[in-house]
Structure 1
Amino acid sequence: MIPGGTMSAAAHDGRAARAVAVVGRGCVRHRYVVLGTWVLLVLALVVAARVIGTPTDNDVSLPGTDAQVVRDLTASSATPLTGGTVILVAPDGRLDDEARAGVLAATSASLRGADHVTTVKPPSTQDGSLSADGRTGWFAVGLDVRRAELTKAMAHTVTDAARPAADAGLRVLPGGALAQVVDGSGSTGDEYFGLALAALVLFLALGGLVGAALALLTAALSVLATLEVVGLAGNLTSMPAQASTLALMVGLGVGIDYSLFLLSRFRAVMRSGRSVPEAVERAVADSGTAVVVAGVTVAVALAGLGLTEVPLLQTLAWTCGTAVLFAVLAALTLLPALTSLAGERLARGGKLYNRLARRTGSGGFWARQADRVTRRPLLAGGLAIVVLALLAAPATDLRLGQLDAGSSPESTAVRQANDAVSAAFGPGAGTPLTVLGRLPTPITDERDPRVPPLVAVVRAQQGVAAVGRPTPSEDGRVVTVQVIASTAGGDPATADLVHRLRSQSVPDMTVHVGGSAAARVDLADRVTAKLPLVIGIVLLLSVLVLLLAFRAPLLALKAAVMDLISIGAAYGVLTAVFTWGWGVTWIGLSGPVPIPSFVPLMLFALLFGLSMDYEVFLLNEVQRSWRRTGDNLRSVREGLLGTGRVITAAAAIMVGVFLAFVPNNDPTIKMFGVGLAVAIAVDATVVRCLLVPATMALLGDLNWWTPGRGRARSEVDGGVTGPGRQRPGAR
């Protein structure tokens, strides 16, 4: 008799697998309805996005912070909805020379005539928009559109309106919001190389164009639906440009991977002599359930970011979660319908595929690898730990900072504008701080006796390069002072200045500090404070999901530890590249750049979920073999043999997709591309091929121990036929 409770657990396992199988069966029977529904859904989303628009807005709020207080108190409906600058640089002389007065007047008039422009303020020493040497200055331009509605075409129209200055030999550059919009998402078009690599790997892994086409079509439709949903959401909430890029990265990676796992299982089942409908149903029951568990694990990891109370991270989390949701739905509905149409053509492999299958199948590479690891688990595990320790070692020097425009590639508009302004006005000119004093009773003008002490306190701070004129609000309740730091916005010294200014005491005044640099400081402080809580909750929830899936506590804990090891390796490489500068020029940056505080946390959530995909598929195969044989060592070997080739192909696809985004002009996207690619590569090779099987071989039957139930059974089980089968030799 099976140990207490195992029969009921097995029955529950079978119900879960059968439930997913029913979905696959229904999609096969009604394949044309499923296909039509997906096509109509995607078309509807595309049309809605074109009609309504897909605005982006990188100016994300951070409620409850000092910088947000300044932003809220200085907001006014009387000011232009969006502000930008048009920067002018003279090759010699001064912009305010009499000889250039006519050029500036003509440029000002041309800018006022541009579409959507409401106000134009020419360069002036009085408001600090003209440098001391007079060679560099900017027109402050107000627009009648919200930042989220500002398009690249509008930005080019404004910049082109400065043609009189350009014709006179002056250098014209967009600045502020105009430069950000001109750069857009930072895409360079190299993402298509990732798709080309994915297509090649799919062709080799599935043995033909039919299988590759089905996987790519499924992933493409799910990603397209994701991008349109994310774009439409920009009409309801602030949507940074990075959100759609990250969703595209994640959606392509998991979408193609899930399709590969299902199609590989379908082909394996077809070899046993099943009909096409039976094979589709069985493939969905086997790998489809694992897809669901993997998707849920990714969603749980991303959901943990909601605890940060940082809108930017919450937005990135739900947009990536949307990509995973559509990938799971497409794999369970669209792909079975397409597979049933392809039928026998998909089951057959070409000569190249069959040759590769012989070399990597029974008696091939993966069989030898499985035998080597399980025969000498201490050696294999020790070698893996050494390699991983070397990769993770640089992470001990992981230093978090803040990116600014000076961190972008030299070819971008924001970098060129920053360099021009920094050279003329100082490194902190591009990211001025706003010091705000809140008063209990209103003042009439800056001559109020309560104002000079605020200015004096600001001037006295080390690291302050310039202080502007104090400006009272319309109601006189607050007064603001623009402060230029002597260091760049991303410099740690600027963060120290922000903290010092906030700690100052001014009589009859409450002091707040805002501006983009101060907002980044607040973001770093918030993320740092929430980091332990988020990591702890994500670990706990992910272990619980795996515990429910595999009913084996040690197996669930081991999976979480393995994922943490992969993440450590990614952090190490991230530090070596972006902090130490190893090879940083190869990826389009001019030198080392700070790693923003939210990047490691976002990477943790993404990698923990994505790495768990391979863990789930490997353990699923191992446990299926264990339920059939009751032999742990044999099960580990058969699991590695059965999944090694497919997991390697899936990882190659995901690594290729992620690396294709490294040329993106946004340094943050470069970091995500490098971090994700390294972690997945390490996870699918060193961790899954060496460390996991070696650990499972050493643990033996403890892998399957469940308190009060003896050996565990799996929720992620494809055994639709006979889910309660007794282990050979069980009594």
Structure 2
Amino acid sequence: MTRFLGRLGGWCARHGRLVLATWVVVAAALMGGSLVLGSPVSNDVSIPGTDTQRAHDLMKSGFGPGYDPGGTVQLVLYSADGPLIDKRRKQAVEDALARLRAVPHVVQVDTPFRRGGIASNLQIGLIAIRMQGHDSTKPAENTRALSKAADPARAAGIEVVAADSSTPADKEIKTGPSEIIGVVCALLVLVFAFGTLVAAMVPIFTALVSVASGLGVIGLLGHVLDVPKQAGIMATMIGLGVGIDYALFLLSRHRRLLADGVPVMESVRRTVASSGGAVVFAGGTVMIALSALMLGGFPLLATLGWITGISVIAAVLTSVTLVPALLGLLGHRVNALKVPFLRGGGSSGTGWAGLGSWVARRPWRVLLGSVVVLGLLAAPALALKLGPLDDGYGTQGSEPRRAYELIATGFGPGANGALIVVAELPSQVADPKDPVVDQVTREVQDVDGVAHVATPKVNSSGRSILLQVVTDYAPSDTRAADVVKDIRAISLPGVSVHVGGKVAAMADSGTRMSERTPLVIGVVVLLSALLLLLAFRAPVVAVKAAVMNLISLGAAFGALALVFSIGLGSALVGMDAPAGSHALRTLFFSVPIESYVPLMLFAVLFGLSMDYEVFLLTAVRQAYQRHGDNARAVAEGLGSTGRVITSAALIMVAVFAAFIAYPDPMVKTFGVGLAVAIAVDATIIRGFLVPATMVLLGRLNWWCPRWLDRLLPNLSVEGHEEEGGPESRRPEPVELGV
């Protein structure tokens, strides 16, 4: 593989203009195509095999228009100056209803002046709108059109806001200034790392091209596949981070070779042969981790995983083709435009080498100290609070949160997440007053925590009934999920009771995630360790690397628990406390973390953490093969990679931390978790824990049974044969008499 990459890098360097023009045209064509043709996204959050999915499937059969989930929109009315039934206000509402009925695809509009449609204070009302035949992939556009039709009510001084009936996993997350902030912060880090503006711009330009290409592909895929709405933001986050980092690793090695007097074209060839191989393997681990999400039993996560991986593939491709093309075109001008007072990263990293030597002299103390520190960082994870997240945690003043608060005030907290109960009957009924229907209704009404049960609706076949149930609890309250369980536990002869809706969906997704998490973690760890085994032909190193990555995850989850579950700093990341909270709770209040977030975070973090492991192990392995002194090799490996890994980590942290500014809670949790994990991974783990364990393991690091060495294909990422010299031979496996 290293020979192939070396030849590829050399060809790209010699044909730099062609490669550069090709990438620019491809990126522009893909992005332009997605902009012109549109980037359809899917709001499909189905969970096959769950009771929620069964309820939603039954809702589509014979209950009339608009009962398909996503086919109902609610507009909340609020009259601050008096009751809605005032003659002038009521007429304005009636005018709004008439205009709503004229909106395309609207098949039913329920007046707020109905039983259950207006609050007891007569100032808050609900308009329920059912749609059919509309484009369900554009809920935001549909809601805006309906809200606009209610302008006659606004003209009468009535506040009209649209309630958000989607789940957090269903929300469209739009890009914003966070990407710009992340890129600017990354540029500053690169300027300090390299000391020259030209060198700093190479990774930035490469990453932007790769992100544009990846987003273009994802946008066009929406025309043939169900692309989750979160795919764009996740691809941008991951694509920017790995795109800049991969280019940074290549550029750093190239500049070191230039400083040693190696000609430009030869330097590019050697760089792609060695560091390019590490990039390919690092990208492979990220892809493995993301692809393993297909085992989670949650189609949205599975699709989100492999589609997000497109940005990683784009980052790897641009790193091994576009970066060498730019380096070939620039030549020694890569060091042009030096920034005054900045020396740049041309040194070998004597400070990190000194740290490596210091660790090598006292490995046991460093190991124990690192374990204690990491244990303290991970300890808060025991308080991690998983649960549903509703619009009550949205940005203060946003329309979804305003609607949520008005509904809770007028109709109770449970009205924000009504349960949809669908019961299959043993025989056909024609009347909602049938004894069987009445018995089911009474059983549901008698469940603890049920506040209200609407009049049952019988489907066209007479074999199913639908009940809308309002509980006493907000959707994010864990007691609401208990009500779901109790209703599902209703046992009547021949009757099957199913529960759907927002609360039920979130409860079922949590259960599915908890069931599948061990499988996903096991597969990711196993396949990643196998990839490292192929790369370094060292079983102990492969297993140790997987364990180290799991340790960094503990710190990430500890940070999430501290900020969100315990609430220490939730206000600092932009989470607004519920309205009416006292001053202390405004500063520190707990926020539940969606059940699917830890699994997604695990996959992303495990893959990204492996990047630094691959680059560090590559350097240590090369040093060990030169002189055979394990402790010295560890110190030299840390010295040669410490500066670049630190710079790469700072860039990742800057990019991910910038996304904390997003108003969406899910993006905030990812920003916090990713930023903390990368920071811990690149400092405590790669700077202290990994070197200490490698010193203690000694020759065991590179031990490989001869039978296994013969079985493994030669896929070394180190590229020794590209360097020449005595170490260009394939190293013999270390035997320990085993």
**Which of these residues, 71, 84, 98, is aligned with residue 87 of structure 2?**
98
Superposed displacement of residue 303, structure 1: 1.8
> Is the Cα–Cα contact under 8 Å of residues 417 and 470 in structure 2 kept in the other structure?
yes
Alpha-carbon deviations, 1:188-215, whole Å to 9, x = none?
5233211110011112222222122221
Task: Give, in whole Å, the separation in 2 of the partners of 1:148 and 1:340.
Answer: 49
Matched with 1:54 is 39
Superposed displacement of residue 184, structure 1: 4.5
Matched with 1:132 is 120
Aligned AA (1:724):
R
> Is the Cα–Cα contact under 8 Å of residues 61 and 459 in structure 2 kept in the other structure?
no
For the residue of structure 2 that corresponds to 1:585, the secondary structure is: coil
Unaligned 5+ runs, structure 1: 1-15
Task: Give, in whole Å, the separation in 1 of the partners of 2:405 and 2:291.
Answer: 39
Superposed displacement of residue 354, structure 1: 6.2
> Is the Cα–Cα contact under 8 Å of residues 357 and 632 in structure 2 kept in the other structure?
no
Distance 1:429 1:454, change over 3 A: same
Superposed displacement of residue 473, structure 1: 1.0
> Is the Cα–Cα contact under 8 Å of residues 454 and 468 in structure 2 kept in the other structure?
yes
Superposed displacement of residue 378, structure 1: 1.8
Distance 1:20 1:224, change over 3 A: same
Number of residue-to-residue matches in the alignment: 712
The 10-residue stretch of structure 1 (268-277 or 60-69) with the greater mean CA deviation from structure 2: 268-277
Superposed displacement of residue 230, structure 1: 2.2
Matched with 1:122 is 111
Matched with 1:9 is none
For the residue of structure 2 that corresponds to 1:138, the secondary structure is: strand
Aligned AA (2:250):
L
Superposed displacement of residue 563, structure 1: 0.5
Alpha-carbon deviations, 1:63-102, whole Å to 9, x = none?
1111111111111596258432221111144323334221
Matched with 1:211 is 199
**Which of these residues, 20, 29, 50, is aligned with residue 35 of structure 1?**
20
Alpha-carbon deviations, 1:243-272, whole Å to 9, x = none?
211111111000000010011111111122
1:724 aligns with 2:713: no
1:298 aligns with 2:283: no
The 10-residue stretch of structure 1 (26-35 or 606-615) with the greater mean CA deviation from structure 2: 26-35
The Cα RMSD (Å) is 2.6
The 10-residue stretch of structure 1 (657-666 or 23-32) with the greater mean CA deviation from structure 2: 23-32
Matched with 1:668 is 666
Task: Give, in whole Å, the separation in 1 of the partners of 2:439 and 2:708.
Answer: 74
Superposed displacement of residue 144, structure 1: 6.0
| TM-score normalised by the chain length of structure 1 | 0.92
1:488 aligns with 2:474: yes
Aligned AA (1:715):
S
For the residue of structure 1 that corresponds to 2:701, the secondary structure is: helix
Superposed displacement of residue 283, structure 1: 0.6
Alpha-carbon deviations, 1:580-607, whole Å to 9, x = none?
0000001111232111111111111111
Task: Give, in whole Å, the separation in 2 of the partners of 1:200 and 1:134.
Answer: 57
Unaligned 5+ runs, structure 2: 578-588
**Which of these residues, 563, 569, 573, is aligned with residue 577 of structure 1?**
563
Report 1:15-30 matches (<5 A): 16-30=1-15
Superposed displacement of residue 396, structure 1: 1.4
Distance 1:51 1:190, change over 3 A: closer
Matched with 2:229 is 241
Distance 1:274 1:131, change over 3 A: same
Superposed displacement of residue 112, structure 1: 3.9
Report 1:220-239 matches (<5 A): 220-239=208-227
Task: Give, in whole Å, the separation in 1 of the partners of 2:516 and 2:241.
Answer: 28
Alpha-carbon deviations, 1:464-499, whole Å to 9, x = none?
011001101122221011100110112110111111
Matched with 2:605 is 607
Distance 1:237 1:146, change over 3 A: farther
Matched with 1:512 is 498
Report 1:571-720 matches (<5 A): 571-589=557-575, 590=577, 591-708=589-706, 715-719=716-720, 720=722
Task: Give, in whole Å, the separation in 1 of the partners of 2:33 and 2:46.
Answer: 27
> Is the Cα–Cα contact under 8 Å of residues 618 and 643 in structure 1 kept in the other structure?
yes
For the residue of structure 1 that corresponds to 2:72, the secondary structure is: strand
Task: Give, in whole Å, the separation in 1 of the partners of 2:688 and 2:186.
Answer: 25
Aligned AA (1:72):
D
Superposed displacement of residue 57, structure 1: 3.6
Matched with 1:425 is 411
The 10-residue stretch of structure 1 (80-89 or 394-403) with the greater mean CA deviation from structure 2: 80-89
| TM-score normalised by the chain length of structure 2 | 0.91
**Which of these residues, 356, 378, 382, is aligned with residue 396 of structure 1?**
382
Alpha-carbon deviations, 1:153-203, whole Å to 9, x = none?
554343233222222221111223599999851655233211110011112
The 10-residue stretch of structure 1 (259-268 or 180-189) with the greater mean CA deviation from structure 2: 180-189
> Is the Cα–Cα contact under 8 Å of residues 449 and 472 in structure 2 kept in the other structure?
yes
> Is the Cα–Cα contact under 8 Å of residues 660 and 671 in structure 2 kept in the other structure?
yes
The 10-residue stretch of structure 1 (59-68 or 177-186) with the greater mean CA deviation from structure 2: 177-186
For the residue of structure 2 that corresponds to 1:481, the secondary structure is: strand
Matched with 1:341 is 329
Percent of pairs with identical residues: 44
Distance 1:368 1:204, change over 3 A: same
Matched with 2:484 is 498
> Is the Cα–Cα contact under 8 Å of residues 432 and 458 in structure 2 kept in the other structure?
yes
1:550 aligns with 2:551: no
Alpha-carbon deviations, 1:549-572, whole Å to 9, x = none?
111111111111110110000011
Report 1:408-557 matches (<5 A): 408-557=394-543
Matched with 2:100 is 111
Alpha-carbon deviations, 1:612-669, whole Å to 9, x = none?
0000000001101111111111111111110000000000000000011111111111
Superposed displacement of residue 120, structure 1: 3.2
Task: Give, in whole Å, the separation in 2 of the partners of 1:134 and 1:238.
Answer: 43
Task: Give, in whole Å, the separation in 1 of the partners of 2:394 and 2:225.
Answer: 26
Aligned AA (1:514):
G
